[in-house]
Amino acid sequence: MDAPGLSLIISFYNKLDNLRLILASLELQSFSDFEVIIADDGSSGKVTAELEDIIQSNKINIRHVWHEDDGWRKNIILNKAIVASRSDYLVFIDGDCILHQRCLEEHYSHRMEKWIIAGRRVNLSPRLSDEITPSKITKGRLWGSYMLRMAWDSLRNKNIHSENAIYLRSPFLRSRINRKDKGVLGSHFSLYKKDIMEVNGFDERFLHPAVGEDTDLEFRLRRNGMKVQTLKHIAIQYHLYHAILPREESNLRIMEENNMQEVTYTPYGIRK
């Protein structure tokens, strides 16, 4: 079986409704040469059984990488998903992020060795997050009639960065807007597999969400000579609403330690 053009790695834990929304957006992708790897951080038996039914009935090439639930171990399961991937190019998203129909095409067409491709996102309001269904996604509502509602929610301070939903086709405007490196969102980035393997993947000592677990990877990749290309208004995702998660001090200490020691290759990653 030929290797796909890219592997889309989706971090996941129990929330099947969110995953169904993502899969609906994947059915519409303008780029089709991809596999999906669901990096499952210990979902329950009931959820995994239902997930297997979804995978069997879906036309998309989906694989499920799972480990037992032993607390928050997202970085560990992401490393397992990296190893399981069959493509030499990887796109990472979180399990609460829906993709614009041209998102994977843009990641693939902008891929460059020694570069991180950084997509941007729209943070949807609670109201819009609750209203979205797979059917509305397949009808193109997110990049159609919902655009005005995103703008309205933004004016009412219920939506952040709604302007990121605007998809630009003009090469001139694209290049002007994306001249600056605006950093990497852990929920939306891509790179060559060999580049993430050079730093040994994610640091598995991060055992809490919300701070450091993905920023540490970005810092180590940069220290290893990688640059960042921002794709604002080009590679777009829609982030479903959830409450802000607390910041864990132990995560900050690990990241500060790695920064002070200028670590690139973590001994706590894929290769032990």
Mean pLDDT of 152-171: 83
Residue 231: what pLDDT? 97
User: By percentage, how much of the chain surpasses pLDDT 70?
Assistant: 98
Mean pLDDT of 128-132: 92
Q: Of 114, 105, 83, which is closest to residue 223 (Cα–Cα)?
A: 114
11, β-bridge pairs? 39
Amino acid type, 26:
L
Q: Of 63, 88, 87, which is closest to residue 77 (Cα–Cα)?
A: 63
- Angle subtended at Cα 269 by Cα 259 and Cα 114, rounded to the nearest 5 degrees: 70
pLDDT digits (tens, 9 = 90+) for 240-268: 998 777 777 889 999 999 999 999 999 99
Query: Residue 25: helix, strand or coil by DSSP?
Result: helix
Instruction: State the DSSP string of 81-146.
Output: HHHH--SSEEEEE-TTEEEPTTHHHHHHHT--TTEEEE-EEEE--HHHHHH--HHHHHTT-TTTTH
Query: What does pLDDT average to over the chain?
Result: 94
* Architecture of the structural domain at 6-260: Alpha-Beta Complex (3.90)
pLDDT digits (tens, 9 = 90+) for 30-78: 999 999 999 999 999 999 999 999 999 999 999 999 999 999 999 999 9
pLDDT band at 158, cuts 50/70/90? low
Mean pLDDT of 193-219: 94
pLDDT band at 10, cuts 50/70/90? very high
Residue 2: what pLDDT? 86
- DSSP letter for 162, please: G
- DSSP letter for 97, please: E
Contact 232, 174 (CB under 8 A): no
Residue 159: what pLDDT? 65
